[in-house]
Amino acid sequence: MKDIRTLSAEQLTDYFISIGEKPFRAKQVYDWLWSKNLHSFDEMTNLSQDLRRRLTRDYCINPISVDQLQRSTDGTIKNGVRLHDNLLVESVLIPTETRTTACVSSQVGCSLNCEFCATARLKRMRNLEVAEIVDQVALIDQQSKSYFNRPLSNIVFMGMGEPMMNYKNVVEAIRKITEPEGLGMSPRRITVSTSGIPKMIKMLADEDLKVKLALSLHSAIEHKRNEIMPFSEKFPLTDIMEALQYWYEKTGSVITFEYCVWKGINDKDEDIKALIRYCRKVPSKVNLIQYNSIGEGKYDQSNPEAMNDYVRQLERAGITVMNRRSRGGDIDAACGQLANKSADA
């Protein structure tokens, strides 16, 4: 059966008219599905029992479910999320004293081949549907209220998969998350993280979604970045920068460069100087990310001195930099570690 949440508002209206119902029924059901995130026709109490039975005959609702929940010593929660076809993804709730952030997945597995990332070792099975993305956000919002007594404040598309490789569904999910008829969350608290696909960055800028953009950079030296992220050979840093400049011209939103520092790979003075030159080409800031081991000896966390050197030189150059502390590492919930290990735990 077809999931009713694959219908647009217009298609939903057409359906109710076709079965002899008033068009306003579409708005009622849309509200149950997207604003209240309801997963059962039987609970749609402003519909008659006959209409609820008809909906049950014609459509289904395929919600996600938590296959396994793990809690870190730092409060981070990782959800092993089971989909209707029995595939698994992971999503993470990251709490701090002032906010709770949902890290959501956009694909089962990943389309790319970043050397340092555990998710990249998984075969990409399929893209997530719009409802499966929205369900992750609604689920983590409920967890935030339950565990931390406050609603979800931020959303990052930094989980499993490359959001730009599931462009249409990610954009539609953002609309469902932010529209008043949906979850009603602020788009300015949503960050889409990409490994850098210039054409898609420009397309996202044209959507006028009011979201933020983050780029997984990790090196501003072409040959080094290609070694770290082999797929990037198709997307030179000059092309990515042109797309980022277009993004800023269209949106006025500062870009965040996500940047891991590894021992012997990108921890030299030349790496810092290259990053500074790249940052100066577009309004941007840098998040230095503590690397989380995935059992691959080639990539080792840098010495604290190297991280400090990055911070000193970036700040001296007038570039905003944050040395981001890793969260959830003890349950493989930190950046780069999502690989459905919870399914085997």
- Over residues 132-189, the pLDDT tens digits come to 999 999 999 999 999 999 999 999 999 999 999 999 999 999 999 999 999 999 999 9
Report pLDDT for 342. 44
Architecture of domain 4-58: Orthogonal Bundle (1.10)
Name the active-site residue from 43, 90, 115, 132.
90
Report pLDDT for 343. 40
Report pLDDT for 293. 67
Report pLDDT for 330. 58
Calculate the alpha carbon distances from 310 to 116, 261, 300, 313, 323 in Å.
Answer: 20, 9, 17, 5, 9
Specify the domain boundaries for CATH 1.10.150.530 within the chain: 4-58
Is 90 known to be catalytic?
yes
**Average pLDDT, whole number, for the chain?**
91
Segments in the chain forming alpha helices (H): 9-18, 24-30, 49-58, 130-148, 167-178, 198-207, 222-228, 237-251, 269-279, 304-316
Which segments in the chain show pLDDT lower than 50?
Answer: 333, 336-339, 342-345
Q: Decide yes or no: CATH 3.10.450.50 for domain 65-344.
A: no
Q: Quick check: pTM over 0.85?
A: yes
Specify the domain boundaries for CATH 3.20.20.70 within the chain: 65-344
Name the active-site residue from 110, 117, 260, 335.
335
Percent of the chain exceeding pLDDT 70 equals: 89
Relative to beta strand 190-194, strand 154-157 is: parallel
Report pLDDT for 295. 61
Report pLDDT for 178. 98
Report pLDDT for 326. 61
Phi, psi dihedral angles at 244 (to 5 degrees): -65, -40
Residue 10, helix vs strand vs coil: helix
Is 103 known to be catalytic?
no
